[in-house]
Every structure is written in C-alpha cells, then in structure tokens.
Amino acid sequence: MPEIIVPQFFLNLEDGHWWEFKDTAVGAPARVECQATGSTLTLRIKIGNQVAEQVIEARDVTDEQTGQQLRQYAFIESRRVDQNQTVKWANGGLTLPSKWTVGETVSGISQPGANPATGNAVKATATLVSLGQLKRPAPPLYGIEIKQTITDVSLGNVIASAEMYFAGSRGIVYAKGQTFGVFFILEPTRWYGQP
C-alpha cells in the first residue's frame, strides 16, 4: 500500500511562524517567515543579502473519501525581492495535492520570461521522496523529504534544485540546493516553537 501524507501537517505554514538557520555553505544567517493575508500566504526567505518570496494560495478542500477538510497549497508567484524579479505561475500555479503519495511528482509552468538569463518560461517540479525518520537534523525527526527542480522549458537545463526536509508540527528543518550555481545548506538554529 502506498504511503500517503497530508502536506499541511508537515509544512506547518501558518501566520507568524518562522525558522532560523545558518547557511553553512557561505556562513550567512538565514530566516524563513510566513505571513498570512486571508487565504494567501507569503513565505519570505532571507539568506544573507538575498531575499526571495513565495506567494502561496491556501485552498480548503474536502476529501472525497473521508469528508475531512484539508488544505491544498498552490504556489502562484515567486519573487527575488533583492533583484526585482517576479515569476508568475500559469494555470493555477504549482499545486501540492491535499493528499500526496510518496514517489508522486507534481509540476507547474511559469509564464514566459521567468528565466532571467534566457527569457524563457521555467518548469518547477516537486517530488515527495520519502516519509519516515529524517537523517537530518540530529536528533532524528519523523517527517518528509521533498525534492524540487526548476528547469528552463526551452533548453531543458536545471537552473535551481533543492532537497527540503519537513518535520510534523515543526515545519522546515533542513534544506540544501542551488540557484544558478549558488549553493546553500540550511542548518536549523531556532524556530517559532522554541521558548
């Protein structure tokens, strides 16, 4: 039987939640903050002088099998605030299902112009890699691993990739990847749930 998760229980995206990290690839502090305005969430990511935002639409949906109210997340806009760039996702955005099966990949395509180097559209994919004891951070936590890639639609080359780990009721606990060849490794230092 396939392992199925409900992303809202692991992502933990709620107004006022925050996470602090040390980017061990460059030695800079990093912070992720979540702000809500109605059903729209803005996830602000700051690593050193770089600032990015993910605009996410949170949709309440009813599970057809159980009648349970679940949350579905659609990434509708991505911004590099420090470079004044905005990527708008087409056709409702990159949508994470309200119930996600391990091994399942979802994807979304941007409007034209998202790759600043070529002006081409980009495709973002997210794969739910695993569910269980996370290898990072110590001590081991129970959670999920998501792998994300962003590719230039016309050229097919990967321009960004990340492995992200989320623990139940805590949210993001570790991430590593690269954007246009600039690498990051986010090791947790503090989060909103700590005294």
Backbone angles phi, psi at 89, to 5 degrees: -90, 135
7-59 residue pLDDT tens: 888 898 999 999 999 999 888 999 999 999 999 999 999 988 889 999 999 99
End-to-end CA separation in angstroms for the chain: 39
* Cis previous bond, 29, omega within 30: no
Residue 4 has pLDDT above 60, yes or no: yes
Number of H helices, E strands in the chain: 1, 15
Average pLDDT, rounded, for the chain: 90
Q: Is the pLDDT of residue 193 over 60?
A: yes
Residue 138: the pLDDT is 63
pLDDT in tens, 118-161: 999 999 999 999 999 887 766 678 999 999 999 999 999 999 99
pLDDT of residue 168: 83
Neighbours of 20 (CB within 10 A): 16
Q: What is the pLDDT of residue 140?
A: 77
